[in-house]
Amino acid sequence: MTDAPTPLLVDLLTELRSAVGDTHVLTDPADLAAYDTDWRGAYSGRPLAVVRPGSTAEVAAVLAATHAAGVAVVPQGGNTGMSGGAVPDDSGSQVILSLGRMRAVREVDAVGGTITVESGCVLADVQAAAAGVDRLFPLTLGSQGSCTIGGNISTNAGGTAVLRYGMMRSQVLGLEVVLPDGRVWDGLRSLRKDNTGYDLKQLFIGAEGTLGVVTAAVLTIQPATPSRATAWVALRDVAAAAELLGVLRDHGGDRLTTWELVSRPARDLVVAAGLTDPLSTSSEWYGLVELAGPAGADVATPLEAALGEAVEAGLVLDAAIAGSPAQRSGLWALRERVSEAQEVHGPTVKHDVSVPITALADFVARTGPAIEAHLPGTRLFVYGHVGDGNLHYNLSRPEHLTSEEFLTHAAALSDVVNASVAELTGSISAEHGLGKSKAAAAAAYKSDVEVALMRAVKDAIDPAGLMNPGAVLPLPPVLLG
C-alpha cells in the first residue's frame, strides 16, 4: 500500500510528462522495480517516478520543474554503483532521473585524441567507438557492459588500468552539466590547456550527482595497445606484491598497465564457480599483471625479465604467462569474476580502502586480527588494485551466524576497518565513492575545515539541497527528522 501523491506532486508529474513524453515518466511499481534497487540488492528506495529524458534540453526542463516544486532528484546511470548513491530514499517523493536514453557518441577525433559522448553511453560502447578508429579508451571495469560514462564521471571510477592511465578524472577534458535549477553549463571543450579561472569540471567529477546532472563529456583517447603480455602469479605475501611493483616498473616502464591482487579465499571463490587456476603452487596471495604496447611492441620480454628477477628474489613463488588470447581471458577472469562470485555467498560488508602502497602489508597484518577479535569467524575476501594501494576488503558472515545476525555487526566491523585505514593515513573510499552508505563515516574522518569547504561548494551550487540528498555529505540534522 503506497500513499497517493499530493496535488503538488500530481502537478509535477503532469509537467514532467509534458517535458519528456508520457512514456518516459514511469510510476507503475512494476516499471520502477528496475530502477529502485541497486544491482546487489543492498540498497533500495521508493521513488515518486522515474523520468527518462532524451536530450540535454529535456534534462534542463525536468530539473527546472523539480526545482520549482522543491522535489529532490537522484541521477542514475547504469545503477552498478557500490555505495548506494543511485537509489532514492523511501519517502516516495524523490525523482530518479535516468540517463539511459542519452547514449549517443557525438564525435570521435583520432587526430585530436578525443571522443565526445552523451552521459548515458555505456562504457563498453565508448571503448568500442575508440577501437573503431584504432584508439583506446582506457577505463576498464568489471561492470563496463552496464555502467555509463555519466556514472563513471560522477563516481570518478578507477578499475584495472589506473596504474597507467589514471582514474576517470584523468580522462575528462570537458563537461556539459545541467545545474539543479535547470540552467545548462556548457563546458564541453576539448582543450588540453585552459587556465581561465577555476577548473569547474573538477567539481562535478566525483560529485555523485549532488551538484547537477552530467549530460555529455569530451574524453581523451589513447594510442591502441594490441600487444599484451599477461601473467598470473603466486606471491610470497602482500609485502612482496608491493615490492614487485618496483620490479615491474623497472622492466616494463610505462607499459605496465595492470597490477592486481587476489587473496586465496577470493581466488577459491572463482575456482569454486568453475574457473581454472593454472598454478598448482599454493599461496595465500595471487596477482594478475599485464604489460601493453602498440602493434609489434615486445611486451613479453620485459614481463619475463621482471618475473625472473622476482622469482630469484623470492617475491614470486610461481607464475603462468598467457600464451594465447583465450588463456589471457582465463587469467583475467580469475580477477574480474571475484566481485560477482562473492555475491552468491550472502550479504557482504564491503570496504574500498586505499593506503600508501608501502603500508599495504601493514594494513592487512593489523586489520585481519582486529576483525577476528571483534567477531570471530568472520571471513575475509580481499582483492583489489595493489598498484594503486587500493584493496576491496570485504567481510562475509561466520558459519555460526545467519545473514541477518551478521548484518547487525556491519557498522561495528566497518569501524574496525576504517580505524586501521585512518591509522595509516588512508582513505575509506578509494574508487567507489561515498554514496549514501559512507557519507557519514567520511565526514567523521575529515577535518572540520574540509567538511566545511565541501558544504560550501554544495550550498553554492545546490542551495536548496535537491540534488541526491544524503549522498557524499550527510543530511543536515534538520532533514534527518
Binding site for ligand MLT (CB under 6 A): 82, 142, 339, 384, 392
Residue 287 binding: pick among ligand MLT, ligand FAD, none (C-beta 5-8 Å cut-off by kind): none
Q: Write the CB contacts of 307 (distance below 8 Å, at least 6 apart in sequence).
A: 231, 233, 316, 319, 321
CB of 286 to ligand FAD, least distance (A): 17
* 166 lies in the site for ligand FAD, by CB under 6 A: no
* 387 lies in the site for ligand FAD, by CB under 6 A: no
- Tally Cβ neighbours within 10 Å of residue 296: 7
Residue 11 binding: pick among ligand FAD, ligand MLT, none (C-beta 5-8 Å cut-off by kind): none
Residue selected from 117, 141, 161, 306 as contacting ligand FAD according to rule CB under 6 A: 141
Residue 78 binding: pick among ligand FAD, ligand MLT, none (C-beta 5-8 Å cut-off by kind): ligand FAD
Nearest to 155 by CA among 438, 427, 431: 431
Candidates 154-162, 216-224, 297-305, 375-383: pick the segment binding ligand FAD (CB under 6 A).
Answer: 154-162
CB of 434 to ligand MLT, least distance (A): 15
Candidates 150-158, 184-192, 354-362, 456-464: pick the segment binding ligand FAD (CB under 6 A).
Answer: 150-158
Number of residues that bind ligand FAD (CB under 6 A): 38
CB of 68 to ligand FAD, least distance (A): 20
Nearest to 76 by CA among 51, 93, 54, 108: 51
Q: Which amino acid is at 312?
A: E
Residue 471 binding: pick among ligand MLT, ligand FAD, none (C-beta 5-8 Å cut-off by kind): ligand FAD
Minimum CB distance to ligand MLT smaller for 82 or for 161: 82
Q: How far is CA 65 from CA 50, 58, 90, in A?
A: 14, 11, 21
Take residue 358 and report the three cell numbers written for it: 608501502
Residue 240 sits at φ, ψ, to 5 deg, of: -65, -35
Cβ-contact 153, 127 below 8 angstroms: no
Cα 371 from chain centre: 25
Residue 112 binding: pick among ligand MLT, ligand FAD, none (C-beta 5-8 Å cut-off by kind): none
* 270 lies in the site for ligand FAD, by CB under 6 A: no
Which residue's beta carbon is nearest to the bound ligand FAD? 151
Cβ-contact 251, 316 below 8 angstroms: no
Q: What are the helix (H) ranges across 230-375?
A: 238-252, 264-272, 300-312, 325-336, 338-343, 360-374
Residues recorded for the chain: 481
Residue 392 binding: pick among ligand MLT, ligand FAD, none (C-beta 5-8 Å cut-off by kind): ligand MLT
Rounded Cα distance, 324 and 117, in Å: 33
Q: Write the CB contacts of 76 (distance below 8 Å, at least 6 apart in sequence).
A: 35, 50, 86, 87, 96, 97, 98, 99
Q: Strands 95-98 and 49-51, how do they pair?
A: parallel
CB of 409 to ligand FAD, least distance (A): 24
The position carrying cell 562504457 is 123
* 342 lies in the site for ligand FAD, by CB under 6 A: no
Nearest 10 degrees: Cα torsion 202, 204, 207, 211? 140
Minimum CB distance to ligand FAD smaller for 151 or for 174: 151
* 77 lies in the site for ligand FAD, by CB under 6 A: yes
Minimum CB distance to ligand MLT smaller for 78 or for 384: 384
Take residue 408 and report the three cell numbers written for it: 547487525
- Tally Cβ neighbours within 10 Å of residue 459: 12
Residue selected from 468, 469, 470, 474 as contacting ligand FAD according to rule CB under 6 A: 468
Residue selected from 71, 214, 291, 466 as contacting ligand FAD according to rule CB under 6 A: 214
Residue 157 binding: pick among ligand FAD, ligand MLT, none (C-beta 5-8 Å cut-off by kind): ligand FAD
Residue 423 binding: pick among ligand MLT, ligand FAD, none (C-beta 5-8 Å cut-off by kind): none
| Contact pattern from residue 217 through residue 256 relative to ligand FAD, giving x for each residue in contact according to CB under 6 A and a dash for the rest | ----------------------------------------
CB of 368 to ligand MLT, least distance (A): 18
* 95 lies in the site for ligand FAD, by CB under 6 A: no
Residue 148 binding: pick among ligand FAD, ligand MLT, none (C-beta 5-8 Å cut-off by kind): ligand FAD
CB of 146 to ligand FAD, least distance (A): 6
DSSP-assigned states of every residue in 156-170: T---TTHHHH--HHH
Q: Which amino acid is at 426?
A: G
Residue 177 sits at φ, ψ, to 5 deg, of: -135, 135
Q: Is the dihedral of CA 137, 138, 139, 142 positive or negative?
A: positive
Cβ-contact 200, 153 below 8 angstroms: no
Q: For binding to ligand FAD (CB under 6 A), which residues are involved?
A: 39, 74-82, 85-86, 99, 119, 141-143, 147-148, 150-152, 154-155, 157-159, 208-209, 213-214, 339-340, 431-432, 435, 468, 471
